[in-house]
Amino acid sequence: DAGVIQSPRHEVTEMGQEVTLRCKPISGHDYLFWYRQTMMRGLELLIYFNNNVPIDDSGMPEDRFSAKMPNASFSTLKIQPSEPRDSAVYFCASIKGGLPYNEQFFGPGTRLTVL
């Protein structure tokens, strides 16, 4: 299996621009998570989906952030407009629910820099 795939790996943009981060979960996994990692706040859960439906978006910082999962194999995290404080590494993770012992598998992350 290819694992969780994220693109782009690096993104540099200017303040005010729209940014779209992409994630392909592991095939067969029915949960997808978006995390943000910064030095100040560590790893934070932003939102997660179950069977393509957003379940808990309480971690989304503000209305500038939105996430979608149009099908089981693709999700996007969009920031519009972007601000310098959004600079962070964004991770996507997936898991297959319903198993006695299940592990979240993380993608390699997208390093976002907003100038």
Partner 1 sequence: GQQLNQSPQSMFIQEGEDVSMNCTSSSIFNTWLWYKQDPGEGPVLLIALYKAGELTSNGRLTAQFGITRKDSFLNISASIPSDVGIYFCAGQLRLTGGGNKLTFGTGTQLKVEL
Residue 18 contacts partner 1 per CB under 8 A: no
Size of the site for partner 1 (CB under 8 A): 30
**Stretch 50-89: interaction string toward partner 1, x if CB under 8 A:** xx---xx-xx------------------------------
| CB nearer to partner 1: pick between 8 and 97 | 97
Q: What is the DSSP string of 63-112?
A: TTEEEEEEETTEEEEEESS--GGG-EEEEEEEE-TTSSS--PEE---EEE
CB of 3 to partner 1, least distance (A): 9
DSSP state at residue 26: P
